[in-house]
Amino acid sequence: MPIFGTDGVRGLANGTLTADLALTLAQATAVVLGQGRTAEARKAAGKRLTAVVARDPRVSGHFLEAAVAAGLASSGVDVLEAGVIPTPALAFLIADRDADFGVMISASHNAAPDNGIKIFARGGVKLPDVVEERIEAAMAGEKLRPTGASVGRIIRFADAEDRYVVHLLGSIPHPLDGIKVVLDCANGAASGVSPETFKDAGADVTVIGADPDGWNINDGVGSTHLDKLAEAVVRLGADIGIAHDGDADRCLAVDAEGKIIDGDQIMAILAVSMKERGHLTDDTLVATVMSNLGLHVAMREHGITVRQTAVGDRYVLEDMNAGGYALGGEQSGHVIMSEFATTGDGLLTGLHLVSEMARQKKTAAELASVMTVYPQVLINVRGVDRDALEGDEVVQSAVREVEAELGDTGRVLLRKSGTEPLVRVMVEAADAESVQTYATRLADVVRERLAL
């Protein structure tokens, strides 16, 4: 069974994700990513292979970081240990230090008992499937076993956070000019660097969820739990709240009244601004098939094309890289600004969102009004044959009927799960009653036709 999922290797720390697995994975990564013309040229020039390693503050990150560093150093790779920093910071630092690759130890928005290992290639980019397959195959093969002076060194990357902060501050188009911001750092990797950066950018900052103890990451705080942030923003009379997840590659927001501003709305705000400033390549935004219909309507009204990809930020990135596009992301808050980052960056996204408030002298709610969020219902139909979905004519006929009834005022999407025997039925329309009626109708058909 493959060990790589949609975003690296993830599992219960010390359960499925052991120190032995981490060490072996690191050794295999050194074999695969230490090959190629660039790596050979470095060796020929007498330069050593180098990797940046970082983690989020989960308690299990300590032993997994040690195992990864040991596996790399034992394979002749010099390790720059960056400590606790966000995933996008690691991606930036790989390119900034001209390292050969990097490893992030984090399970993102998962609960504290889980952990994960994400591998980034040279330049700070995520690995394509074929390279992950090569690394997995190499885990069972011969490892690099240098001796003497050829073993790797493990070196503290002392200025890692400072380099990242300088990069972020240099990216924003306008200082934050005293805007009152509440930051929720999810007791995660952004707990130190995000408040520092927002303050340096000029914001008046209040912080919650920034006391990591190794076990409280994502525990009732962060981008998956917005209630505390919304309450704090309203109680303190703040202008906006910004929420990260555990490894800070996501950003969601709440306005001054505590209303959620999701990833689609953030992308709409940034896309319109970037087009006006001439920074939106081909006037195009890349989003997934799960993005709200309201995003498509709003972008069309502003002369912006929306390209759709499969669900997952890696697919958004692939399309952006192939077309050279400047902006893309997901409803969940993974927003990618390719001029400044090679992956989703919650700090970068939040800074640019607040910067737009300052630049345009508008409230967060006024900016978010660029897009009307259409009511959306998602029903998970369990216990069905997901693989029979596309071939069942009755189901497909039911979908076509609903699409015809909705016309241009709604949207239907049926997706099979990649891991469970279920089908996701999603319907969007202009009014909530119609959405629920159509979604229930289609879910009943799926349940009846595809039952196991």
Binding-site residues for Mg(2+), in ranges, read 108, 245, 247, 249
Question: Are 221 and 248 spatial neighbours (Cβ–Cβ below 8 Å)?
Answer: no
Residue type at 169?
A: L
Q: Where are the beta strands (DSSP E) in 28-67?
A: 50-55
Among 414, 341, 348, residue whose Cα is nearest residue 126: 341
Cα distances from 31 to residues 21, 220, 326, in angstroms, run 15, 40, 33
Among 422, 445, 426, 447, residue whose Cα is nearest residue 436: 426
Look at the block and give the residue holding tokens 């997994």.
Answer: 64
Within the chain, how many helices (H) and strands (E) appear? 15, 19
Question: Are 152 and 213 spatial neighbours (Cβ–Cβ below 8 Å)?
Answer: no
CA dihedral 154, 160, 163, 168 (to 10 degrees): 140
Binding-site residues sit at 108, 245, 247, 249
Q: Distance (Å, rounded) from C-alpha 183 to C-alpha 198?
A: 9
The residue count for the chain = 452
Angle CA 371–376–382, to nearest 5: 150
Residue type at 314?
A: R
Q: Which residues contact 402 (CB under 8 A, 6 or more apart)?
A: 412, 427, 438, 441, 442
- Could you tell me the end-to-end alpha-carbon distance of the chain, in angstroms, rounded to an integer? 23
Point out the catalytic residue in the list 106, 108, 291, 355. Answer: 108
DSSP state of 157: -
Annotated catalytic, 108? yes
**Which two tokens mark 247?**
């490894």
Q: Which residues contact 263 (CB under 8 A, 6 or more apart)?
A: 250, 251, 252, 329, 330, 331, 332, 333, 334, 335
Q: Which residues contact 287 (CB under 8 A, 6 or more apart)?
A: 264, 267, 295, 306, 307, 308, 309, 316, 328, 329, 330
Q: Any idea which residues carry the catalytic annotation?
A: 108
